[in-house]
Amino acid sequence: MNKKDIPDPRIFIDQDRRAAALNHIRQDVELKKVRYSPSKLQILKIQLQYISKEYWSGQALLAAAAILLFTQYGVVPDKMQEYLIGASMLAALMGLVSVFEISRSLSWNMAELEQSCFLNLGQIWSIKMLISGAIDLCILTAMIFSVADKMKYSIFAVCLYILVPFVVSNVCYLFFVSAGRNSGRKWIQIILAVFLCIGSAIPAVIPRVYRTVYLPVWTAVFLIGTILLAIEIYALLRKLKTGGKELCWN
């Protein structure tokens, strides 16, 4: 058979349909999620699921203690001094609940595991500290403004008297956590909390420290404590950002 007699096998290609098919494939590829990137709200919801029941129980106990303190002393104008001392001691305990929660990562080699997750240890701790800070500030705000009209001190002074123990105690708690795994053990933090509560109750023995003349001292302690707390948080997160070896291996 002559090759010239063989029919041409070429198939006619519709260029419009070809362009439409390629465009459809291109759109499907663009819509396909190659990398999962959850939103900040989704990340928050996910982390809330992994916060322990003990943490929520601790926060509930703190809130209940604040309510009990108010019902016992906050409604009686003559008991404002006792209320202020009790609120200061309670403020010194608030950071303990948060530290217990983040210290869970330092037990049973969980720090190494969490460091290798989608959210690393620094991101997880940042979210937990933000949640704890928001809850603690809500409780502190309620304790302060619920008795603001009954206090003989200014609202600024009352804020200082309660916030100073809160800030100083958090600096101490985080210092022991950042010192390494063994320093973050619960019994060490509990002993530290006892001493911090005793220190917060000093005005019960020396009530003159609440005088207006000492207000600049309270202000200075608060500012220094806030700066130290910011430095401590930055240093802690920086350790975690660089791999967290100091926390994971100590």
| Contact present, 156 and 226 (Cβ < 8 Å) | no
Q: Is the pLDDT of residue 30 over 80?
A: no
| pLDDT value at residue 163 | 93
The two three-digit tokens of residue 83, written as one number: 């209320």
Average pLDDT value for residue range 178-205: 78
Q: Which of 167, 214, 173 is nearest to 193 (CA)?
A: 173
| Contact present, 116 and 43 (Cβ < 8 Å) | no
Average pLDDT value for residue range 167-187: 77
pLDDT digit string, tens, across residues 199-214: 888 887 888 888 888 8
Q: Domain spans of the chain?
A: 40-249
Question: Using CA atoms, how far apart are residues 132 and 229, in angstroms rounded to an integer?
Answer: 15
State the pTM of this model: 0.75
Helix (H) or strand (E) holding 127: helix 121-145
Average pLDDT value for residue range 160-184: 81
Q: Which of 140, 142, 54 is nearest to 97 (CA)?
A: 54
Secondary structure of 155-184 as H, E, C letters: HHHHHHHHHHHHHHHHHHHHHHHHCCCHHH
Highest mean pLDDT among 101-105, 115-119, 206-210, 236-240: 206-210
pLDDT digit string, tens, across residues 148-164: 788 888 888 889 999 99
